[in-house]
């Protein structure tokens, strides 16, 4: 699965991540009820995330492939993401 950088940013914003800083990569943090849960990152580069990188990005978000595809295409919203994280015991 390849993910375009603009799709990745759109998904991060939709799921409630906030940009937290820049280093070699751009870091995004996720908070739930004002409590830090975890962070993810993506490169500053342009273009698509190739398969291996896209899979790592998806797993950092704690999503399976179907959920990631739905998040990109829009039927998967922030409330759905909260359900996923709750079921996994992360929040």
Can you give the pLDDT at residue 12? 95
Can you give the pLDDT at residue 64? 95
Can you give the pLDDT at residue 14? 95
Can you give the pLDDT at residue 34? 92
Can you give the pLDDT at residue 46? 73
Short-list 55, 42, 43, 37, CA closest to 1: 55
Can you give the pLDDT at residue 59? 93
Short-list 18, 64, 63, 24, CA closest to 39: 18
Instruction: Report the distance separating Cα 81 and Cα 22, nearest Å.
Output: 25
Looking at residue 39, the DSSP 8-state letter turns out to be E
With a cut of 70, list the residues of the chain below it in pLDDT: none
Q: Which domains does the chain have, with CATH numbers?
A: 3-87 (3.30.920.30)
Exposed/middle/buried for 35, CB within 10 Å: 0-12, 13-18, 19+? exposed
């Amino acid at each position: 699965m390849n993910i375009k950088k603009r799709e990745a940013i759109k998904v991060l914003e939709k799921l409630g991540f906030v940009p937290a800083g820049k280093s070699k990569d751009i870091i995004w943090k996720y908070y739930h009820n004002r409590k830090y849960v975890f962070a993810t990152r993506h490169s500053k580069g342009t273009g698509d995330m190739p398969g291996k990188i896209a899979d790592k990005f998806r797993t950092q978000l704690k999503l399976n492939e179907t959920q990631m595809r739905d998040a990109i295409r829009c039927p998967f919203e922030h409330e759905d993401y909260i359900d996923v994280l709750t079921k996994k015991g992360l929040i």
